[in-house]
Amino acid sequence: MLISYWRPQLASMPCGLVRYLDRRGADGAVLHIVWNIGPDRLWSYITTTLTEIRHLPPGTNIAGSKISLEDLLRALWRLYSLRARIMPALSICESALDAVLNSAPSVVSPCVIALIKANIVDALHIGDRVATGKEELSSRLAHPILAIETVHKIPRIPTEGQSGESSQKNVHNELQRALHGRTIEARFQIMSELLECCTGPQLPYNILKTLSIIKPLAPPVRIHGTHQNRLAATIGHLFRAATARQNPEVLEAVLNLDLFNVYAPAQDLQKLPRTSGASQGVPWMDHPKARRLMKDFLVDYEESLISSARPPAMVARVKTILHGIDTLHPSALP
């Protein structure tokens, strides 16, 4: 067995294990390795190894090893792609994010960063459901991954002597709602950051798979206009980028996300692949600038789809979203 040749007390991971994590396609086989070594231990070791080689230029191997930065980042992507099956501790995700952010630039990095950030947000959200104390919820609300721009304000926490049990419970519930809303806004931010990396000369590693993993659902709460505008502007930039035009499946994958299903009637959704069974959420594009940017893009995109003979279902999807924006946000009409 591969792991029997590795002494876990050694900080760096052996080349064979890194390559196995990178190249093994079956989730079950990778999970078997994870559970044999120990999830938190494995994530810690791979982060330590990344710290050792993070300043090496892309394509350069660590001294005395065949492991390159890209090898390690791909292995890290593989581990974090299992977020629906297994989740490392919050502190381990934070250490991994710091190591990747401080590594040499790589085509693999954007999707790894997006997956790690999505894991951190998930950990904060899960904490929302299990946290019992107001102090713990307040601490999670102060996490730097949560954007400052938010419509979900943090309530003032009264002291025990300032209010009764009922008031304390209300504050606790308000803190939970604030954390829930802000983690949803964070997912918008993560998606925008990743799509911004798709406008360069080369698409990020495994971009389509990563989009399908971190997909933000149609939000059940309001989203700050800053995040609406950034996402709408980024999608428009993606449409105009040469790399994305050469890879039309990226933009199609974005518009097929559940995020836009709130603007599509039920009969239209039945014709398109669903990325989850989640509810449609609320109409989130309530900022005038976001609607204008999105509608300008959709009109141009529809014309390009027709002229390039892309799938009719995609043309119908674009028409439906346009109609949904006008229907659900009447103030957007001239």
Q: pLDDT of 215-265, one tens digit each?
A: 877 888 899 999 999 999 999 999 998 887 788 999 999 999 989 999 986
Task: Place 6 in a pLDDT band, splitting at 50, 70 and 90.
Answer: low
Q: What is the pLDDT of residue 267?
A: 45
> What is the pLDDT, as a whole number, of residue 243?
80
State yes or no: pLDDT of 122 exceeds 80.
yes
Q: What percent of the chain has pLDDT over 70?
A: 81
* DSSP run (H or E) holding 229: helix 225-240
- Average pLDDT of the chain is 83
**Of all residues in the chain, what percent carry a pLDDT higher than 90?**
40
The reported pLDDT for the residue numbered 94 is: 93
Instruction: Give the 3-state secondary structure of residue 61.
Output: strand
Going by C-alpha positions, the residue among 48, 144, 53 that lies closest to residue 90 is 144
What's the confidence (pLDDT) of residue 260? 93
**pLDDT average, residue stretch 53-75:** 73
**Tell me: the pLDDT tens digits for 189-205?**
999 999 999 988 899 99
Q: Is the pLDDT of residue 207 over 90?
A: yes
Burial of 315 (0-12, 13-18, 19+ CB in 10 A): middle
Domain ranges of the chain: 1-104
pLDDT in the model for residue 277:
41
List the Cα angle 76/227/143 in 5-degree steps: 55
Mean pLDDT along residues 31-53:
83
Residue 246 in tokens? 């050469």
User: Is 165's pLDDT higher than 60?
Assistant: no
Which pLDDT does position 160 carry in this prediction?
59
Q: Can you say whether residue 59 is alpha, beta or left, with left for phi > 0 and alpha for psi between -120 and 50 degrees?
A: left
The helix/strand count (H/E) of the chain reads as 15, 0
Cα(67)–Cα(297) distance, rounded to whole angstroms?
43
Say if CB 42 and CB 87 are below 8 A apart: no
What percent of the residues of the chain are helix, what percent strand, and what percent coil, each to the nearest 5? 65, 0, 35
pLDDT at 156: 73
Indicate whether 10 pLDDT > 70: no
Of 49-63, 131-145, 174-188, where does mean pLDDT reach its minimum?
49-63
pLDDT at 274: 44
Q: Which of 149-153, 158-162, 230-234, 256-260 has the highest mean pLDDT?
A: 230-234
Which DSSP string do the residues of 257-277 spell out, in sequence order?
SGGGGGGS-HHHHTTS--S--
How much is the average pLDDT of 74-93? 86
The predicted-structure confidence for 269-297, as pLDDT tens digits, reads as follows: 444 444 444 456 899 999 999 999 999 99
